[in-house]
């Protein structure tokens, strides 16, 4: 179990030399000496486009290491993790929904979901269908993802993101193409899943945030 993720003096390489700028000085994330996200948290990180939201989640997930500072999982420095450790973390402890979704357009909705779910065995097919039904896309289960609208694809990607156990789930602009009603449905699904696992939620937004109750907003 991962109880906390802590950022210590984190700064992307691309922002080197900008330490005295308003962008960095006013940030509640960059160069903070000890910013912790605890298991069970509800966090929404807000910034303008290009502010580093996607980079931040990639740093935490271990996809990128072009940053100064440290990222600690509990007390362990993520810079020292090997491939086996990262695979374990990404399968059992940290879930990620990237902004670009990264689905396979030639596969059906259910095939995309099962690619992940067959690795984790976290959901039954009936549970997946129930989630798709709540999101209004159960009739798309056997349709190729590439034929769906961006908003429909986003809902499929959200279901895929929760097809695993996790201590933290990170979602990069997960409702950018959804209206308020679908945003509320997605928010309830994610909150229910996180609550059932005692997990934390870290999400990003440029102005259309995931409508979580009691979320803490942090300016990037």
130 lies in some domain: no
* Residue 214: CATH number of its domain: 3.40.50.300
The per-residue pLDDT for range 1-11, each reduced to its tens digit, is 999 999 999 99
85 lies in some domain: yes
120 lies in some domain: no
196 lies in some domain: yes
- Between CA 211 and CA 219 the distance in angstroms is 16
- Single pTM value for the model: 0.95
* Residues of the domain holding 194: 4-101+164-219
Mean pLDDT over residues 180-186, rounded?
97
**With pLDDT > 70 as the criterion, what percentage of the chain qualifies?**
100
Q: Which of 211, 204, 163 is nearest to 187 (CA)?
A: 211
125 lies in some domain: no
Write down the pLDDT at residue 48: 87
**Number of domains making up the chain:** 1
93 lies in some domain: yes
Strands (E), 47-160: 67-73, 76-77, 94-97
72 lies in some domain: yes
18 lies in some domain: yes
In which element (H, E) is residue 202 found? strand 200-205
């Amino acid at each position: 179990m991962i109880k906390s993720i802590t950022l210590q003096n984190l700064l992307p390489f691309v922002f080197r030399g900008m330490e005295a700028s308003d962008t960095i000085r006013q940030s509640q994330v960059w160069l903070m000496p000890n910013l912790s996200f605890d298991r069970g948290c509800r966090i929404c990180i807000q910034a303008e486009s290009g502010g580093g939201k996607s980079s931040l989640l990639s740093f935490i997930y271990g996809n990128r290491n072009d940053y100064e500072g440290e990222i600690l999982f509990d007390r362990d420095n993520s810079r020292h993790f090997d491939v086996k450790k990262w695979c374990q973390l990404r399968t059992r402890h940290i879930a990620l929904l990237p902004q670009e979704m990264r689905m396979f357009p030639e596969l059906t909705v259910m095939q995309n979901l099962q690619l992940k779910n067959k690795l984790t065995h976290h959901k039954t097919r009936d549970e997946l269908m129930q989630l798709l039904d709540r999101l209004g896309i159960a009739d798309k289960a056997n349709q190729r993802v590439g034929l769906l609208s961006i908003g429909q694809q986003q809902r499929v990607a959200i279901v895929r993101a929760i097809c695993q156990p996790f201590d933290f789930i990170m979602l990069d602009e997960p409702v950018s193409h959804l209206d308020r009603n679908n945003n509320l449905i997605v928010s309830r699904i994610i909150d229910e899943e996180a609550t059932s696992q005692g997990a934390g939620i870290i999400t990003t937004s440029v102005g259309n945030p995931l409508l979580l109750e009691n979320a803490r907003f942090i300016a990037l």
